[in-house]
Structure 1
Amino acid sequence: MGLTSQSLLFAMIAVAVVCVGLTVWMWPRFAGRGPRAVLGRLGVIAATQLSIVAALGLAVNSNFEFYASWHELLGLYDGAPAAVGKWGNEGKAGPAGDPSKGLVQPSGPEGLDKVHGIPTGPPDKNGKVETVKIVGKRTRAVNPAYVYLPPQYFQKQYARQRFPVVVALAGYPGGIFLLGQHLRLPETASQLIRSGKMQPTVIVMMRPTIAPPRDTQCVDVPGGPQAETFFAQDVPDALRSHYRVGSDPGAWGVMGYSSGGSCALQLAMIHSRTYTSAAALSPDYKVSTDPTTGNLFGDGKDRGRRREEHDLMWRLKNLPAPQVNVLIGTSRAGEPNYPAAKEFLDAVKPPMKADSIILDHGSHNFATWRRELPAALQWMSRSLTFPEDVVGSS
């Protein structure tokens, strides 16, 4: 049974209920003071608690899809975070794909069948959400994605038209399911496009790690996962090869929440010729290492330079400002990163432009990000240019 399957969840709930019942029924038998009675009490308590914790864990994971498969949960795609000393030249780069079979390949449901509010019915009236795998031409990394295609994408009058595109990144360790179900990105975008508050846009929802369970932080790890190259080069190439999306960087934006927002800022500021707009909800402003990331910058003499280049405040103070537009979402109360957000916004200088969504109160959670999302999507729509090139143009 799959890790997120309903049958596994119901089976584990049934096991927990049986364990509770057996504990109540057998408890009088272990009322004595001898070693067997003590061991019996400890045994039934342990079995009951383990079954309840397992059921709760499966329920939470089924709802949020932190791990989509047993492989991800068990860390079979990459070295476990505890082995950070062995990462680097000996570290694996995550699951590898075959670009010769296409840079965008069909995928299973990836949890889309459990997402509420996605467009249904005729695509030319309501739009459509596809599940695909994106394969890196350079990195050979494989990442699942939901791709929202607006109704205009399927309408005859737009048959040769290319569309602006937004790459949307989840936080870590969440996956694309969270963007659909809990951030409600396809549902919100569909409503805004239908009401004319947002231009027709292709939205590609992805997770920021390319080597789960490792948090790759959109960084090219020396001898390890090349996450920065994947998102800055492979993803745009793959999408242009398969979908009618614009070629000019002015039609490309990136957005995300939490660590996905941090990646969005990193990608736009470092690769301004790929993404010209970035919307970041509750981001950090520099890449830090921890047990989930391992050694992201290597051990060579350029380690310090690599770390500095992924510190956005350092970039603003020491490098020419990139010609990009950024949007920062934060809250005066409830968000611990408000002082850092203010410092970042104050440091922005031309030709870079910055706007903000600042709530009076909001925590680091989906309730806050859902409040910010409509304004962020409308800001992104105003920032991106609708492509002038059409299919078949040179």
Structure 2
Amino acid sequence: MHASTIRIDTLPAVVAGAVLALLCVAAVPWAWDRWRRKVPGRMATTVLAVVAVVAACGLAVNAAGSFYPTLGSLLGTSPNPEEGTVADAGPDGRDLGRTLATAAQRSANGQGSLLHLTVTGARTHLTRDVDVYLPAGYTSPGYAGFRFPAIEWIPHFPGEPRQVATLYGLPDLLDKAIASHRLPPTVVIIADPNGEPRLTHDSECVDAVGGPANDTFLSADLRSWAYRTLRVRTDREGWAIAGWSSGGYCALNLTVRHPQWFAAAVSMSGYDATPRDVETGDLFHGRRDIQHANDVSATLREHPSAVRLLVTADGSAGDERAALERLRAAAAPPVELTTWTLAPAGHNLAAVREELPAVLDWLDTQLGNPVPAGRLPAGQVTAAGVWPLPDVGTPGSLRGEDATP
């Protein structure tokens, strides 16, 4: 049994942790005078009891928020990145042609196909796991020569692409939404925003000062790879980004920083600025210009562009509602901001699964249909919407008004 198969966000795990903590606490007075060497024995049982109580509390908090669904996600291991997918398309999707036979078989039953592959960025040279959802119509003769709208889906920290399938249940929801004509046939690209190891390695999808160019990989590299490899639309109106929690911040930040490439974004229970905590660390190393350039509210206020944003917040989460209010105060035309304050449900995966159908309905209103390759709309943002990005100093990272994917 691998750590990735051990769930730690379930009620049995919480109960087991609580029982173990109670036993450790009870052992302190029970063994107090039974130790042959009293001082080290008493110290050992006391420390063990404290650790057990802290661990039990951590399990309870983790279960409430679904931060680390498995022991593997806590430890940052990914023994099976293909989990939840139906075929492996190889490095940079070089085996995509072979996997399309599997996709065609599933398409006959009205099912889309989630494929696993890796992508190495042409600019950043980062290599990350990527899952790609191809809708049932992708292999249909009726759509031959068509390019499909695309959604880039950003997993939450410490998530990875396979968790969007296995924990969110996104492929099944996409199948149902497309089959019921509540979403156009859409390609969904789910990329790993962090890489390994994940423990204390929350990239927040930014080009870090002195670190990896995650923003450039997720925007320029991934998009240019998709142009070459998949039949996706190349106009900005055909692209959206979505995510939950940290993935929601990523979706907002990438979209407002690169309005020449993305027209819409969804932030489910996200925020508007990067935190500085034990998991994230210091991404900017004193560069306040870089930090400011990754503040979504500041960007909306100072560099408004023709983007359409959906931001949701749990009614009981003060930090989420505060971020939503800052975004409301900053957004002005041509920005279109839609906000939902949801019934209190907590920051957890159950709430995500409950919210996803409505999010897909909103995306349906934002994405166009598949378009014949020769008739793609231009859909470009005005020059005023592209603003100069400060240089983080990482080779290959986007800077200035660089708009080359």
- Both structures adopt the same fold (TM-score exceeding 0.5): yes
Match of 1:87 in 2: none
8 Å contact 1:144–1:206 — kept in the other structure?
A: yes
3-state SS, counterpart of residue 189 of structure 2: strand
Separation in 1, partners of 2:211, 2:151: 27
Amino acid paired to 1:307:
Q
Cα distance, 1:144 vs. partner?
A: 1.4
Match of 2:293 in 1: 309
3-state SS, counterpart of residue 272 of structure 1: coil
8 Å contact 1:124–1:153 — kept in the other structure?
A: no
Amino acid paired to 1:372:
E
Match of 2:401 in 1: none
3-state SS, counterpart of residue 34 of structure 2: coil
Amino acid paired to 1:353:
E
Cα distance, 1:36 vs. partner?
A: 5.6
Separation in 2, partners of 1:35, 1:203: 64
Q: Deviations over 1:280-330 (max 9, x none)?
A: 10111112322222221134xxx11111111122223333x1111100111
Pick from 110, 127, 130: which aligns with 2:115?
130
Listed as ranges, the matches of 1:84-233 within 5 Å are 103-104=92-93, 122-125=106-109, 126-210=111-195, 212-213=197-198, 214-233=201-220
Aligned in 2, Cα 1:293/1:49: closer, same or farther, shift over 3 Å? closer
Separation in 2, partners of 1:218, 1:258: 12
Pick from 234, 240, 255: which aligns with 2:227?
240
8 Å contact 1:331–1:362 — kept in the other structure?
A: yes
Cα distance, 1:339 vs. partner?
A: 2.8
Q: Deviations over 1:188-233 (max 9, x none)?
A: 1111111111111111223332453211111111221100100110
Aligned in 2, Cα 1:337/1:304: closer, same or farther, shift over 3 Å? same
Separation in 2, partners of 1:105, 1:41: 61
8 Å contact 1:286–1:311 — kept in the other structure?
A: yes
Separation in 1, partners of 2:142, 2:236: 24
Separation in 2, partners of 1:131, 1:102: 9
Match of 2:34 in 1: 33
Aligned in 2, Cα 1:354/1:102: closer, same or farther, shift over 3 Å? same
- Does 1:261 find its partner at 2:245? no
Separation in 1, partners of 2:176, 2:225: 27
Amino acid paired to 2:332:
K
Amino acid paired to 1:192:
A
Cα distance, 1:236 vs. partner?
A: 0.7
Q: Deviations over 1:110-145 (max 9, x none)?
A: xxxxxxxxx996233312111111221111112212
Match of 2:389 in 1: none
Separation in 1, partners of 2:134, 2:357: 17
Aligned in 2, Cα 1:151/1:391: closer, same or farther, shift over 3 Å? farther
3-state SS, counterpart of residue 166 of structure 1: strand
Separation in 2, partners of 1:211, 1:63: 15
Q: Which runs of 5+ in 2 are unaligned?
A: 7-16, 25-30, 79-89, 97-102, 377-405
8 Å contact 1:170–1:205 — kept in the other structure?
A: yes
TM-score, normalising length from structure 2? 0.71
Separation in 1, partners of 2:68, 2:334: 42
Aligned in 2, Cα 1:120/1:358: closer, same or farther, shift over 3 Å? farther
Q: Which runs of 5+ in 1 are unaligned?
A: 7-15, 24-29, 75-100, 108-118
Cα distance, 1:65 vs. partner?
A: 4.4
8 Å contact 1:251–1:385 — kept in the other structure?
A: yes
Separation in 2, partners of 1:37, 1:355: 64
Amino acid paired to 1:242:
T
Match of 2:347 in 1: 364
Amino acid paired to 1:64:
P
Pick from 293, 313, 325: which aligns with 1:330?
313
3-state SS, counterpart of residue 327 of structure 1: strand
Match of 2:276 in 1: 289
Aligned in 2, Cα 1:238/1:332: closer, same or farther, shift over 3 Å? same
Cα distance, 1:238 vs. partner?
A: 1.5
Pick from 256, 273, 276: which aligns with 2:260?
273
Listed as ranges, the matches of 1:363-382 within 5 Å are 363-382=346-365
TM-score, normalising length from structure 1? 0.72
Aligned in 2, Cα 1:66/1:353: closer, same or farther, shift over 3 Å? farther
Q: Deviations over 1:51-92 (max 9, x none)?
A: 9979x98x989982474597x359xxxxxxxxxxxxxxxxxx
| Identity percentage of aligned residues | 26
3-state SS, counterpart of residue 238 of structure 1: helix
